[in-house]
Amino acid sequence: MKRPLAMAAIGFAGGIFWVMHGGTVRISWMTLFLLTVIGVALGWKFHKVIPLCVATLSVLYGISYADWYVNTVQKPVSKLDGETQLVTARVLEYADVYEENQRVRIHIPKEQLQTPRDITTLIYLPLTEQELRPGDEIRVTAEFYLPTYSQGFDREQYYQSNGIFILGSAKNFQEKRNAEAVYDLKITPDAYSSVWDLPKKTAHQIRQQISAQFTERQGAFLTALLLGDRTELTNIDSNHLKKAGLSHVIAVSGLHVGFLIALLLFLFGRRIGSVLSVPMLLFFFLMVGWSPSVVRASIMYLFLIASFWFRRESDSLNALSAALLLILLYLPTAVDSVSLQLSFSATLGLILFAGRVNSALAAPKWISPAWAKRIWNWIAASISCTLCTQIFAIPILLYYFGYVSILSIPANLAALWAVSAVFALGCAFAIACLLVPMIAQPLASVIGPLTDYIWLIADQIAGLPFGLLYSNRTLGIAAVIVLYITMLLLVLRILPKVTLPIGLIVIAALCHADWKQSLTETRIAFLSVGYGQAAVVSHGDECILIDCGGSGHYNAAQSVLEYMDWNGIEDIDRMILTSVDKTHARNAAELIESTPVSELILPAVNRSTDTLEQLQDIITQEKLPVLYYEDDASCPVGNCGVSVLGGIERKLLVRIQAGKEDILIVHAATQNMLLDYLSEHTLSADRLVASAQITEDYGEMEQILGSIAPSEIVLGSGWESATKFAGIPVYNLYEHGDWFCTVSMESR
d(CA 14, CA 546): 47
d(CA 355, CA 295): 24
In sequence order, what DSSP letters do the residues of 299-359 get, joined into one string? HHHHHHHHHHHTT----HHHHHHHHHHHHHHH-GGGGG-HHHHHHHHHHHHIIIIIHHHHH
Mean pLDDT of 290-309: 80
Task: Please state the pTM of the whole predicted model.
Answer: 0.87
DSSP lists the bridge partners of residue 743 as 522
Task: Please name which of 95, 116, 173 lies closest in space to residue 140, comparing C-alpha atoms.
Answer: 173
pLDDT above 70 coverage of the chain, percent: 97
pLDDT tens-digit map of 494-525: 888 888 899 989 998 999 999 888 888 999 99
pLDDT tens-digit map of 663-710: 999 999 999 999 999 998 888 999 999 988 777 788 888 899 999 999
Residue 40, pLDDT > 90, answer no
C-alpha distances out from residue 439 to 208, 422, 449, Å = 16, 16, 17
Q: Is 46 helix (H, G, I), strand (E, B) or coil?
A: coil
Residue 747, pLDDT > 50, answer no
pLDDT tens-digit map of 238-262: 999 999 989 888 877 767 777 778 7
Residue 214 backbone phi and psi in degrees, to 5:
-130, 160
In a 10 Å sphere around its CB, with 0-12 CB exposed, 13-18 middle and 19+ buried, how is residue 310 labelled? Answer: exposed
For 178-187, 330-339, 583-592, which range has the lowest pLDDT when averaged over its residues?
178-187
